[in-house]
């Protein structure tokens, strides 16, 4: 299968209102060609609406612009129809036609081609995705993983320049999800298609995306590589969405935040004496030898197989601190321990407002 050359995607000032409510607000974004971009966020943040607007099945408010491969498809007074954008769309529920065989499902978007070329294209994409043995079967006889692969093949059959995927792995069981996701990502990278994947799972985005676009309430909270967005979050929201954090409020003084469990430097421009917030990853905490650290007490332990989750109480904190350890911690609940910190996993921000209605869902 020879896909079209991968295309870049440019969004400028894309907004969308429903009944006076802003679902998307002034989204500007540059999607690199030939890479996988993950639109990440909790339900209702606008990521699926943005995907539909890119596909052309929904229209943005007037004033925005969308370019595919440098060519306008949405702009002042213009709107290119979905079938003319060379953009493929893979739906969350796969949307396979139950009355058509797998081969006919794959051929559905190829009706403009001569019959012989259509058969060749179906055979090529089926071989590439590894579903040649399924071509005579019908969707109802396929497993979830097989249906997902057929849906991917159907989306790729027209050789789109950009492929959009809305929660493509969410209907699969956990073990199968990881296998199918890995195979899908390998296929997309081999073909070199520009792909945009919507997901609500930060671990999936970190595993899959070359670029992660974290959305929040219809806006882009942060965009960057997986390492950038995890290691250098721009906000407490971004830090906590990408992985669990312990929150500690402290006083800012001379380029450092002073907390009850330590003082940590950060690159912030804050007046001395103002409040700041430290978000401390559970893996930043560890148990040290007796007397070499902060005096603490174990209050809970949960064994998860790969690691142990341990809740620690440190005076004078009102809340417990959570740590993750890949080593067996022999201390029993109620026992005193010495707590040590790894500053590399501590993120410091200006203290956010006391009431933050947009905290990530738990």
Task: Give the CATH number of the domain where residue 206 resides.
Answer: 3.40.50.300
The helices-and-strands tally (H runs, E runs) of the chain is 8, 21
Position 362 scores a pLDDT of 32
Whether pTM exceeds 0.85 = yes
Task: Give the CATH number of the domain where residue 320 resides.
Answer: 2.40.50.140
Q: Which DSSP letter does residue 345 get? A: G
Q: Which of the pair, 56 or 172, is modelled with greater confidence? A: 56
How far is CA 174 from its chain centroid?
17
Position 5 scores a pLDDT of 58
Query: Confidence band (pLDDT; 50, 70, 90) for 361?
Result: very low
Domain boundary among 194, 209, 237: 237
Position 305 scores a pLDDT of 83
Quote the CA–CA distance of 231 and 239 in Å, as a whole number.
8
Over residues 28-45, the pLDDT tens digits come to: 999 999 999 999 999 999
Over residues 116-133, the pLDDT tens digits come to: 999 999 999 999 899 999
Helix (H) or strand (E) holding 308: strand 308-313
Position 4 scores a pLDDT of 53
Average pLDDT, the chain: 91
Shared domain for 331 and 304, answered yes or no, is: yes
Host domain of residue 328 = 248-344
Q: Which DSSP letter does residue 156 get? A: H
Mean pLDDT of 326-355: 84
Write the burial class of residue 41 (CB in 10 Å: 0-12 exposed, 13-18 middle, 19+ buried).
buried
Whether the pLDDT of residue 357 is over 80: the answer is: no
User: What are the DSSP calls for 38-85, one per residue?
Assistant: EEE--TTSSHHHHHHHHHTSS-PPTT-EEEETTEEEEETTEE--GGGT
Position 354 scores a pLDDT of 61
Shared domain for 144 and 254, answered yes or no, is: no
Shared domain for 207 and 183, answered yes or no, is: yes
Shared domain for 297 and 189, answered yes or no, is: no
* Whether 37 contacts 196, CB under 8 Å: yes
Shared domain for 13 and 159, answered yes or no, is: yes
Helix (H) or strand (E) holding 154: helix 144-156
Position 3 scores a pLDDT of 44
Query: Confidence band (pLDDT; 50, 70, 90) for 55?
Result: very high
Position 91 scores a pLDDT of 83
Query: Confidence band (pLDDT; 50, 70, 90) for 168?
Result: very high
Render the burial of 264-290: b for 16+ CB within 10 Å, e for the rest. Answer: bebeeebeeeeebbbbbbbbbbbbeee
Position 171 scores a pLDDT of 84
Over residues 83-96, the pLDDT tens digits come to: 899 999 998 888 89
- Residue 243 within any structural domain of the chain: no
- Residue 358 within any structural domain of the chain: no
Shared domain for 179 and 263, answered yes or no, is: no
Find tokens 């174990």 and name the residue: 298
Over residues 271-284, the pLDDT tens digits come to: 999 999 999 999 99
- Residue 153 within any structural domain of the chain: yes
- Residue 257 within any structural domain of the chain: yes
Over residues 217-230, the pLDDT tens digits come to: 999 999 999 999 99
Position 1 scores a pLDDT of 44
Query: Confidence band (pLDDT; 50, 70, 90) for 18?
Result: very high
DSSP-derived pairing of the beta strands 321-325 and 162-166:
unpaired
| Backbone torsions φ then ψ of 213, nearest 5 degrees | -115, 105
Cβ neighbours of residue 70 under 8 Å, at least 6 residues apart? 8, 10
Domain boundary among 179, 202, 237: 237
Quote the CA–CA distance of 14 and 50 in Å, as a whole number.
8
Query: Confidence band (pLDDT; 50, 70, 90) for 345?
Result: confident
Q: Which of the pair, 4 or 33, is modelled with greater confidence? A: 33
Whether the pLDDT of residue 80 is over 50: the answer is: yes
Position 232 scores a pLDDT of 95
* Whether 200 contacts 215, CB under 8 Å: no
Domain boundary among 203, 237, 271: 237
Shared domain for 24 and 169, answered yes or no, is: yes
Mean pLDDT of 9-25: 95
Shared domain for 167 and 188, answered yes or no, is: yes
Q: Which of the pair, 257 or 2, is modelled with greater confidence? A: 257
- Residue 282 within any structural domain of the chain: yes
* Whether 149 contacts 94, CB under 8 Å: no
Render the burial of 97-132: b for 16+ CB within 10 Å, e for the rest. Answer: eeeeebbebbbebbeebeeeebeebbebbbebbebe
- Residue 4 within any structural domain of the chain: no
Over residues 217-269, the pLDDT tens digits come to: 999 999 999 999 999 999 999 999 999 999 999 999 999 999 988 899 999 99
Mean pLDDT of 100-116: 93
Shared domain for 216 and 277, answered yes or no, is: no
Shared domain for 102 and 194, answered yes or no, is: yes
The number of distinct structural domains making up the chain is: 2
Shared domain for 177 and 325, answered yes or no, is: no
Cβ neighbours of residue 94 under 8 Å, at least 6 residues apart? 139, 147, 148, 150, 151, 171
- Residue 112 within any structural domain of the chain: yes
Write the burial class of residue 183 (CB in 10 Å: 0-12 exposed, 13-18 middle, 19+ buried).
middle
Mean pLDDT of 44-63: 95
- Residue 353 within any structural domain of the chain: no
Quote the CA–CA distance of 276 and 73 in Å, as a whole number.
45
Shared domain for 201 and 92, answered yes or no, is: yes
């Amino acid at each position: 299968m020879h896909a079209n050359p991968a295309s870049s995607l440019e969004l400028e000032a894309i907004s969308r209102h429903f009944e006076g409510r802003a679902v998307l607000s002034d989204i500007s974004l540059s999607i690199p060609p030939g890479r996988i971009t993950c639109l990440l966020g909790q339900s209702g943040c606008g990521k699926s609406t943005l995907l539909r607007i890119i596909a052309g099945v929904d229209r943005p408010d007037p004033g925005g612009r969308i370019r595919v491969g440098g060519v306008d498809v949405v702009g002042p007074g213009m709107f290119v129809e979905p079938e003319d954008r060379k953009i493929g769309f893979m739906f969350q529920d796969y949307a396979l036609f139950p009355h058509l065989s797998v081969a006919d499902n794959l051929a559905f978007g190829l009706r403009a081609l001569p019959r012989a070329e259509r058969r060749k294209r179906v055979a090529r994409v089926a071989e590439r995705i590894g579903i040649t043995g399924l071509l005579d079967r019908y969707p109802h006889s396929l497993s979830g993983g097989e249906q997902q692969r057929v849906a991917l093949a159907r989306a790729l059959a027209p050789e789109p320049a950009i492929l959009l995927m809305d929660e493509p792995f969410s209907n699969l069981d956990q073990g199968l999800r990881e296998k199918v996701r890995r195979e899908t990502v390998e296929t997309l990278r081999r073909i070199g298609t520009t792909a945009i994947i919507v997901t609500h799972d930060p671990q999936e985005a970190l595993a899959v995306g070359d670029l992660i676009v974290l959305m929040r309430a219809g806006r882009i909270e942060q965009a960057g590589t997986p390492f950038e967005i995890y290691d250098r979050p721009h906000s407490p929201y971004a830090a906590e969405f990408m992985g669990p954090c312990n929150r500690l409020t402290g006083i800012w003084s001379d380029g450092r935040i002073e907390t009850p469990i330590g003082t940590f430097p950060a690159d912030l421009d804050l007046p001395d004496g103002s409040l700041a917030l430290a978000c401390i990853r559970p893996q930043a905490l560890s148990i040290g030898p007796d007397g070499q650290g902060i005096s603490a007490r174990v209050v809970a332990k949960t064994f998860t197989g790969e690691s142990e989750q341990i809740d620690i109480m440190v005076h004078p904190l009102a809340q417990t601190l959570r740590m993750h350890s890949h080593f067996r911690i022999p201390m029993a609940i109620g026992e005193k321990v010495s707590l040590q910190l790894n500053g590399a996993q501590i993120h410091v921000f200006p203290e956010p407002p006391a009431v933050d209605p947009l905290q990530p869902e738990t």
